[in-house]
Amino acid sequence: MTELDCQDYKIIFGSCQKNLSTFLSENAYTLICVLVDENTHKFCFPKISEALSDYQHMVIEISSGEDFKNLETCQEIYSQMLEGGADRQTLMVNLGGGVIGDMGGFCASTYMRGIDFIQIPTTLLSQVDSSVGGKLGVDFEMVKNIVGVFNNPERVLIDPELLKTLDTHQVRSGFAEMIKHGLIADEQLYEDLFSMHFGLEPKKITTDIVYRAIQVKKRVVEKDPFEKNLRKILNFGHTLGHAIETESWHLEKPLLHGEAIIVGMICENYIAYLKGLLTNEIMERINQQLKHVFYRDDVVGNAQEIISHMKKDKKNQNKRIFAALIDGVGSAIPATEISEEEVLQSLSYYKNM
Ligand X SMILES: NC(=O)c1ccc[n+]([C@@H]2O[C@H](COP(=O)([O-])OP(=O)(O)OC[C@H]3O[C@@H](n4cnc5c(N)ncnc54)[C@H](O)[C@@H]3O)[C@@H](O)[C@H]2O)c1
Chain residues in the site for ligand X (CB under 6 A): 37, 39-40, 43-44, 64-66, 69, 96-100, 102, 122-123, 125-126, 129-130, 133, 135, 144-145, 162, 165-166, 170, 173, 257
Smallest separation (angstroms) from ligand X to the CB of 189: 17
Smallest separation (angstroms) from ligand X to the CB of 321: 19
Smallest separation (angstroms) from ligand X to the CB of 28: 29
Smallest separation (angstroms) from ligand X to the CB of 227: 10
* DSSP for residue 328: E
Which CB, 143 or 333, lies closer to ligand X? 143
Which CB, 64 or 345, lies closer to ligand X? 64
Q: Among candidates 135, 167, 139, which has minimal Cα distance to 151?
A: 135
CA 52 – CA 264 distance, rounded (Å): 41
Contact criterion met (CB below 8 Å) for 127 and 177: no
CA 109 – CA 98 distance, rounded (Å): 16
Side-chain half-sphere of 32: how many Cα atoms within 13 Å? 24
Which CB, 88 or 164, lies closer to ligand X? 164
Which CB, 37 or 186, lies closer to ligand X? 37
Smallest separation (angstroms) from ligand X to the CB of 39: 3
Which CB, 122 or 336, lies closer to ligand X? 122
CA 210 – CA 205 distance, rounded (Å): 7
Side-chain half-sphere of 65: how many Cα atoms within 13 Å? 6
Smallest separation (angstroms) from ligand X to the CB of 150: 10
Which CB, 4 or 274, lies closer to ligand X? 4
CA 319 – CA 301 distance, rounded (Å): 22
DSSP codes, 41-84: HHHTGGGTHHHHTTS-EEEEEE--SGGG-SHHHHHHHHHHHHHT
Q: Which residue is nearest to ligand X (CB)?
A: 98
